[in-house]
Structure 1
């Protein structure tokens, strides 16, 4: 059985799409931690940022560029945060690389 995000990408599990192209799919988080909380995931299954290598540089850059494009489209000119939780100690709960785009309110530091 494929992972949760692979199932969302292939449409087996419904989601609210925000952006999609040949490399990635972005959708609204079902448990938002900010007024805008979008997940940006590569279409290829990679377990986490820790499993990426030099061959993934272009894809990783694309995910960041898409994050900025979505932030602009959501009117987050006052600021936003892009996060990649990695591994259990880093707070990763789904074993598929993904970025969180959070915005729409002031975000404190350090995060919880």
Structure 2
């Protein structure tokens, strides 16, 4: 190709002008925290050590998902949403605490809904 020297940069960041996508990424980032909190409560409410370990792994996966979403947001200069962070922090803590009261079904249900 005339004028092409073979050099290519792939680390350039791009700003996205797509409000629905921005909102979805912000929501996903914050909801991962809520899901992780829910799994913390769930792990604390079960007695079986093997279940605790498995649930702890799921919690760690949620934190990793959150870091992955943040990395994607950073590539596109998308800020986190303070509103979603507060909202989903509260939701996650409520679900976490409720694990000790409402049994095993509801934490799974709400964690799935947050995903």
Return the structure number with greater helix share.
Answer: 2
**Which one scores higher on RCO, CA 8 angstroms, separation ≥ 6?**
2
Structure number with greater Rg is: 2
Regarding TM over 0.5, the answer is no
